[in-house]
Structures are given as C-alpha cells and as structure tokens.
C-alpha cells in the first residue's frame, strides 16, 4: 500500500528508516513508547524558514517557540543554527539559556508572568517582554525601578482576527485571554515612552497555532504595521521591530492537506511593509513548523480486541504521552515499522492503557492488519508531544532519541518509578 511519509522518513527493504537509522532498532533497544527526532530535518526546516525572509528582502530574526518541544538538545540544535528563543515561563527561559541561547536573543511572552519570572528576565538581560496587560506593564516598570534597570518591552496586540483553527489554539480573537486591544496598545505605548524604566522596542501579535490560511495572517500583519506606524508618529519614537509571532501550520494528513509555506508568509509580510513604506526588522516565532514533522512517537501493539462495533488496537503509548488527539481531536498518521506486504485495511480505534475513554490516538482509522507485538510509528509528533506529556496514571514519561545521520543517541532517559516519587514525602 502506498504510504505518504514526512521528509527524512522512508521504507527501505520494507523497514521504516529515519535518516539512516532503522526505527525498529531504536524501538528494540530503547523500548516503547519513545520519541525519535531527526536533527537534519529540524535544521533543514530552520534554514528554509530563514531563507524565505532573506529572499523576500526582509531583515528577520527567528525565535524558536520553546513550548513546541523543550528538550535541551533540540533547543541547542536550533541555537547552533542561529535561532533565538520565544519562552513563556521562567522554566523555559532557564532552559533556553542552559541550552546556549544568549539572553539578548530571548523574548518572553505569556499572560501571567510572575514577579519572580520578570525579575529573572530583567537580570538576565533578555531581548524583550511581550506585554499583555496594563497591570503586567506596571509590574515590569516597578521591578525595573527596584533593580535600577531598563526593561525592554514589546506590546502584544490582539488584532481581533479569526485564524480559522481549533478554538483551543486561537489567540488573536476578541474573547481570547491574549494580548491587548489596538486602543489600549496606543495608551500603553504613550505610558511606556514616558517612563524612565521602560524601553518600547517593538509591537507583536500571534493569532493562533496550526494556521493554514494566509488571509488571517495578512489581516493581523496589517493591523500590526498600522499600530507600529501610529505608535511611532504619536510618540516621536522609532521601534526596532515588528514581531509577527508564529503559528504556521503543518500537514498532519500527509495525503490530503497542503500547508502554508514560510515563503508565502515572508512575501506577505514584505508586501505589508511595502504598503506602509517601512522596512522594520521582523521577528518570527515558529515552533510547530520547525519540529513537528521531524519527530515520531514509537509504540507497540499490546492487545487486539473487538466488540460488535469496534476493533481496538491497545498500544503502550497513551494520552499522557501524546494528548493532541484527545485534547484537539488532532489527526496523526500511524504506520507500521515493517511495511505491510498486502493492501488489506481494517478500521481500528488505536487506544492506550490510560483509564479514560478519551485515551485514543486514532479512531476508526483504516490501517493494515495489526498483530500483537507489532511496532507502530505515530508520525508528525515532534511538536506538542513530549512537551505536553504527563505522569497521569503514574505512567513514566517516554524516552527521547535524537538521530543524527548515521548515529542516534538518547537525549532524555525514560522515567523510572523512582523518578515519579523522588519529590514526594
């Protein structure tokens, strides 16, 4: 049966490879479930993203959205390529710096930054805080004054744009908790430019995740550029940059979906800047687009069972390992590690061992005939996979493996029971 696979994945002599490594070898040596990432796939995606803005004639900096996959080695890999980091917590800030991202290449987003996190960012000398409310702005100012520092800030605009994505990952519509209105942004800009402790360096927006359509991005970019122009005119200042956020989607249904490209995104931004007669530096914060297709979750079929309506394939991965199907009704291709020799398909519900009916990885999915002990690959799992995993049902979190051409290595050991209880009394 023909199977569509992401870049760097292919069947060779009926065995599934990532780069030059057979995935069955990793599954047998490390065990399942485990995440496997291709370093070359991640680097190629980063280079394509940066090249797109260069070709469009834009000066741009790329800040990797750490929340997508926060393993230190993944952050370090991208930092070595030149990426900065977009962080949303003190923990992510510390991860980024530990992985080698210079503080001046880190932007700090999020609606609920604590005083401790803000102080950490100020003392570290980060590029900017993306400010999401007036109370946050005043807290940053107060802490900067106490520390005798200048806080670099960017105002996060909520442009009121429908991004046409899942409701849980929209971030730029009215009613979303993120960002500030256009009118309030102008008020806060006036306040910031008159404060001796605040330095307004940019404006930012991020309208959502897994975006396939460019029209909402275009609308948001226009609103952002309009805001920047008005802020500069009203306050007699010059902003360093426009931060367009991230959110560019990927094709999870490999045979059916067509994802928007960074080339199209960059050209859209260039057109927007030309309309305003300006050439602001651009900051972009991709996450999913860089790492999703580079990763897979390996799992083993434990049992098969049928009732009058459904055939279940019970596997050793579960919603605590990959919650996207349960949380977002997300689709991930699932393929066997050994390519089937015939084209017979059976509909399965692929489910995990967790005690929830919502614990599924696929429902009513046409797959080759499965057998107990078979190993499967859940594709395009590199983003919001391990980083959203948990210990629900006291399940140890999976191992993580990085493939580098002809070699592979562990970048996170599988958790043990001792790991689960180490912090408990």
What residues act catalytically? 355
Number of Cβ atoms within 10 Å of the Cβ of 233: 9
Asked whether 61 and 46 are in contact (CB, 8 A), the reply is no
- Token code pair at residue 178: 């993120």
Beta-sheet pairing, 407-412 with 9-12: unpaired
Distances (CA, A) of 332 to 30, 147, 183, 301, 362: 22, 48, 41, 17, 8
What whole-number distance in Å separates Cα of residue 368 and Cα of residue 377?
Answer: 13
Classify 329 as helix, strand or coil: coil
What whole-number distance in Å separates Cα of residue 117 and Cα of residue 124?
Answer: 10
Strands (E), 157-280: 198-204, 241-243
Q: Is 76 annotated as a binding residue?
A: no
Classify 216 as helix, strand or coil: helix
- Token code pair at residue 415: 């958790």
Burial of 142 (0-12, 13-18, 19+ CB in 10 A): middle
Number of Cβ atoms within 10 Å of the Cβ of 57: 12
Beta-sheet pairing, 334-336 with 295-306: unpaired
Q: Is 328 annotated as a binding residue?
A: yes
- Token code pair at residue 67: 């929340």
CA 138, 142, 144, 150 dihedral sign is positive
- Token code pair at residue 69: 């996959």
Alpha helices in 60-133 (DSSP H): 72-81, 90-98, 115-124
- Token code pair at residue 413: 């050991």
The upper half-sphere exposure of residue 9, i.e. CA atoms within 13 Å in the direction of its Cβ, equals: 28
The widest CA-to-CA distance across the chain, in whole angstroms, is: 72
Q: Is 168 annotated as a binding residue?
A: no
- Distance separating the N- and C-terminal Cα atoms of the chain: 53
- Token code pair at residue 397: 């979190």
Asked whether 80 and 101 are in contact (CB, 8 A), the reply is no
What whole-number distance in Å separates Cα of residue 251 and Cα of residue 147?
Answer: 46
Q: Is 384 annotated as a binding residue?
A: yes
Binding site residue list = 247, 285-288, 324, 328, 356, 384
Binding site residue list for substrate = 288, 324, 328, 356, 384
Binding site residue list for pyridoxal 5'-phosphate = 247, 285-288, 384
């Amino acid at each position: 049966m023909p199977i569509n696979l992401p870049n760097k994945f292919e069947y060779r002599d009926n065995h599934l490879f990532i780069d030059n490594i057979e995935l069955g070898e990793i599954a047998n040596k490390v065990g399942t479930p485990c995440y496997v990432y291709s370093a070359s796939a991640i680097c190629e995606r980063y280079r394509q993203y940066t090249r797109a803005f260069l070709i469009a004639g834009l000066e741009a900096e790329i800040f990797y959205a750490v929340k997508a996959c926060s393993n230190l080695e993944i952050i370090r890999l991208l930092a070595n390529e030149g990426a900065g980091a977009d962080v949303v917590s003190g923990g992510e800030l510390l991860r980024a710096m530990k992985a080698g991202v210079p503080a001046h290449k880190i932007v700090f987003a999020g609606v609920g930054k604590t005083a401790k996190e803000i102080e950490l960012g100020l003392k570290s000398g980060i590029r900017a805080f993306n400010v999401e409310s007036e109370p946050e702005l005043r807290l940053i100012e107060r802490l900067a004054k106490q520390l005798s520092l200048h806080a670099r800030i960017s105002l996060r605009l909520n442009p009121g744009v429908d991004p046409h994505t899942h409701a849980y990952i929209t971030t730029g519509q009215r009613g979303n908790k993120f960002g500030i209105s256009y009118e309030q942004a102008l008020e806060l800009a006036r306040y910031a430019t008159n404060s001796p402790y605040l330095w307004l360096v940019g404006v930012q927006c991020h309208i959502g995740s897994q975006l396939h359509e460019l029209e909402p991005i275009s609308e948001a970019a226009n609103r952002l550029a309009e805001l920047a122009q008005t802020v500069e005119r009203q306050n007699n200042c010059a902003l360093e940059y426009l931060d367009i956020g991230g959110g560019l989607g990927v094709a999870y249904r490999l045979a059916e979906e067509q994802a928007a490209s960074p080339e199209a995104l960059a050209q859209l931004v260039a057109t927007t800047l030309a309309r305003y007669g300006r050439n602001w530096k651009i900051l972009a914060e991709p996450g999913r687009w860089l790492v999703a297709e580079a990763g897979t979750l390996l799992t083993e079929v434990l049992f098969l069972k049928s009732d009058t309506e459904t055939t279940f394939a019970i596997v050793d991965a579960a919603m605590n390992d990959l919650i996207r199907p349960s949380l977002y009704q997300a689709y991930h291709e699932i393929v066997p590690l050994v390519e089937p020799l015939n084209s017979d398909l059976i509909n399965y519900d692929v489910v995990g061992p967790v005690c929830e009916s919502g614990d599924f990885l696929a429902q009513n999915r046409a797959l080759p005939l499965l057998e107990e002990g078979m190993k499967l690959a859940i594709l395009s799992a590199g983003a919001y996979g391990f980083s959203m995993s948990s210990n629900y049902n006291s399940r140890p979190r999976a191992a993580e493996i990085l493939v580098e051409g002809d070699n592979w290595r562990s970048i996170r050991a599988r958790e043990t029971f001792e790991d689960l209880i180490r912090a408990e009394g």
